[in-house]
Protein backbone atom coordinates (compact mmCIF):
# COMPACT_ATOMS: atom_id res chain seq x y z
CA UNK A 1 0.00 0.00 0.00
CA UNK A 2 1.46 3.35 -0.97
CA UNK A 3 1.58 5.99 1.73
CA UNK A 4 1.54 9.77 1.24
CA UNK A 5 5.07 11.08 1.06
CA UNK A 6 6.66 7.75 0.16
CA UNK A 7 6.77 8.22 -3.63
CA UNK A 8 4.93 4.96 -4.30
CA UNK A 9 7.14 2.77 -2.12
CA UNK A 10 5.33 0.17 -0.08
CA UNK A 11 6.86 0.97 3.29
CA UNK A 12 4.96 2.68 6.07
CA UNK A 13 6.48 5.64 7.90
CA UNK A 14 6.65 3.56 11.09
CA UNK A 15 10.28 3.68 12.32
CA UNK A 16 10.19 -0.03 13.25
CA UNK A 17 9.11 -1.01 9.73
CA UNK A 18 11.65 1.31 8.12
CA UNK A 19 14.42 -0.21 10.24
CA UNK A 20 13.42 -3.86 9.76
CA UNK A 21 11.71 -3.90 6.37
CA UNK A 22 8.31 -5.49 5.78
CA UNK A 23 9.12 -8.25 8.25
CA UNK A 24 9.16 -5.64 11.02
CA UNK A 25 5.47 -4.79 10.74
CA UNK A 26 3.15 -6.31 13.33
CA UNK A 27 -0.02 -5.38 11.45
CA UNK A 28 0.36 -7.81 8.51
CA UNK A 29 -1.53 -5.92 5.77
CA UNK A 30 -3.93 -4.38 8.28
CA UNK A 31 -2.33 -0.94 7.95
CA UNK A 32 -5.65 0.77 8.70
CA UNK A 33 -5.24 -0.15 12.37
CA UNK A 34 -1.74 1.38 12.67
CA UNK A 35 -1.19 4.85 14.15
CA UNK A 36 1.44 5.50 11.45
CA UNK A 37 -0.93 4.85 8.54
CA UNK A 38 -2.38 7.70 6.48
CA UNK A 39 -4.49 7.12 3.38
CA UNK A 40 -5.64 9.46 0.67
CA UNK A 41 -7.78 8.98 -2.44
CA UNK A 42 -4.75 7.77 -4.41
CA UNK A 43 -4.91 4.62 -2.25
CA UNK A 44 -8.47 3.70 -3.30
CA UNK A 45 -7.41 1.30 -6.08
CA UNK A 46 -5.03 -0.51 -3.70
CA UNK A 47 -7.72 -0.70 -1.01
CA UNK A 48 -10.25 -2.16 -3.46
CA UNK A 49 -7.65 -4.74 -4.52
CA UNK A 50 -7.03 -5.71 -0.88
CA UNK A 51 -10.78 -6.09 -0.26
CA UNK A 52 -11.13 -8.25 -3.38
CA UNK A 53 -8.14 -10.41 -2.43
CA UNK A 54 -9.54 -10.99 1.08
CA UNK A 55 -12.99 -11.86 -0.31
CA UNK A 56 -11.60 -14.36 -2.84
CA UNK A 57 -9.34 -15.99 -0.26
CA UNK A 58 -12.24 -16.26 2.20
CA UNK A 59 -14.38 -17.96 -0.45
CA UNK A 60 -11.58 -20.40 -1.23
CA UNK A 61 -11.07 -21.24 2.45
CA UNK A 62 -14.77 -21.85 2.98
CA UNK A 63 -15.00 -24.09 -0.10
CA UNK A 64 -11.91 -26.14 0.75
CA UNK A 65 -12.59 -26.34 4.48
CA UNK A 66 -9.73 -28.80 5.11
CA UNK A 67 -7.57 -26.89 7.55
CA UNK A 68 -7.61 -26.96 11.33
CA UNK A 69 -6.57 -23.32 11.11
CA UNK A 70 -9.61 -22.38 9.00
CA UNK A 71 -11.47 -20.61 11.86
CA UNK A 72 -8.41 -18.47 12.59
CA UNK A 73 -7.78 -17.63 8.93
CA UNK A 74 -11.44 -16.79 8.33
CA UNK A 75 -11.50 -14.48 11.36
CA UNK A 76 -8.29 -12.69 10.34
CA UNK A 77 -9.31 -12.29 6.70
CA UNK A 78 -12.79 -11.09 7.68
CA UNK A 79 -11.32 -8.47 10.03
CA UNK A 80 -8.85 -7.36 7.36
CA UNK A 81 -11.58 -7.09 4.68
CA UNK A 82 -13.96 -5.23 7.01
CA UNK A 83 -11.23 -2.79 8.10
CA UNK A 84 -10.35 -1.95 4.50
CA UNK A 85 -14.06 -1.54 3.70
CA UNK A 86 -14.32 1.02 6.51
CA UNK A 87 -11.28 2.86 5.16
CA UNK A 88 -12.78 2.85 1.64
CA UNK A 89 -16.07 4.20 2.98
CA UNK A 90 -14.23 6.98 4.84
CA UNK A 91 -12.16 8.00 1.81
CA UNK A 92 -15.23 7.92 -0.45
CA UNK A 93 -17.15 10.12 1.99
CA UNK A 94 -14.30 12.65 1.98
CA UNK A 95 -14.30 12.72 -1.82
CA UNK A 96 -18.09 13.09 -1.95
CA UNK A 97 -17.85 16.09 0.39
CA UNK A 98 -15.57 18.02 -2.00
CA UNK A 99 -17.07 20.88 -3.96
CA UNK A 100 -16.83 20.60 -7.76
CA UNK A 101 -13.98 23.15 -7.78
CA UNK A 102 -12.03 21.20 -5.13
CA UNK A 103 -12.64 17.92 -6.95
CA UNK A 104 -11.45 19.41 -10.27
CA UNK A 105 -8.33 20.86 -8.62
CA UNK A 106 -7.54 17.55 -6.93
CA UNK A 107 -7.98 15.67 -10.22
CA UNK A 108 -5.79 18.11 -12.14
CA UNK A 109 -3.00 17.89 -9.57
CA UNK A 110 -3.19 14.09 -9.50
CA UNK A 111 -3.19 13.71 -13.30
CA UNK A 112 -0.39 16.21 -13.86
CA UNK A 113 -2.58 18.94 -15.38
CA UNK A 114 -1.48 21.41 -12.71
CA UNK A 115 1.78 21.71 -10.86
CA UNK A 116 1.83 22.77 -7.24
CA UNK A 117 3.37 26.13 -8.14
CA UNK A 118 0.04 27.12 -9.71
CA UNK A 119 1.23 27.20 -13.31
CA UNK A 120 -0.04 24.98 -16.05
CA UNK A 121 1.79 21.99 -17.38
CA UNK A 122 1.66 21.36 -21.11
CA UNK A 123 -1.56 19.38 -20.64
CA UNK A 124 -3.75 22.15 -19.23
CA UNK A 125 -4.45 25.88 -19.09
CA UNK A 126 -2.73 28.21 -16.65
CA UNK A 127 -4.42 28.75 -13.31
CA UNK A 128 -3.63 31.93 -11.44
CA UNK A 129 -4.13 32.19 -7.71
pLDDT in tens, the chain (129 residues): 444 444 333 445 566 655 655 566 777 778 888 888 888 888 889 999 999 999 999 999 888 877 777 888 889 999 999 999 999 999 999 888 988 888 887 777 666 665 555 555 555 454 444
Task: Report the candidate in 1, 9, 106 with the shortest Cα–Cα distance to residue 50.
Answer: 1
Round to whole Å and give the CA distance between 85 and 117. 35
Per-residue CA distances from 11 to 1, 3, 15, 16, 48 (Å)? 8, 7, 10, 11, 19
Q: What is Dmax (Cα atoms) for the chain?
A: 63
Q: What is the pTM of this model?
A: 0.63
Round to whole Å and give the CA distance between 106 and 126. 15
Give me the DSSP letters along 14-29.
-HHHHHH-GGG-SSSS
Amino acid sequence: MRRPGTSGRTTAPDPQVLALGREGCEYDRMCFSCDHFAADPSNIADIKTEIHTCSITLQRLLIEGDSDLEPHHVAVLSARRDGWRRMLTLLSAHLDALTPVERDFRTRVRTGGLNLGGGATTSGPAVLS
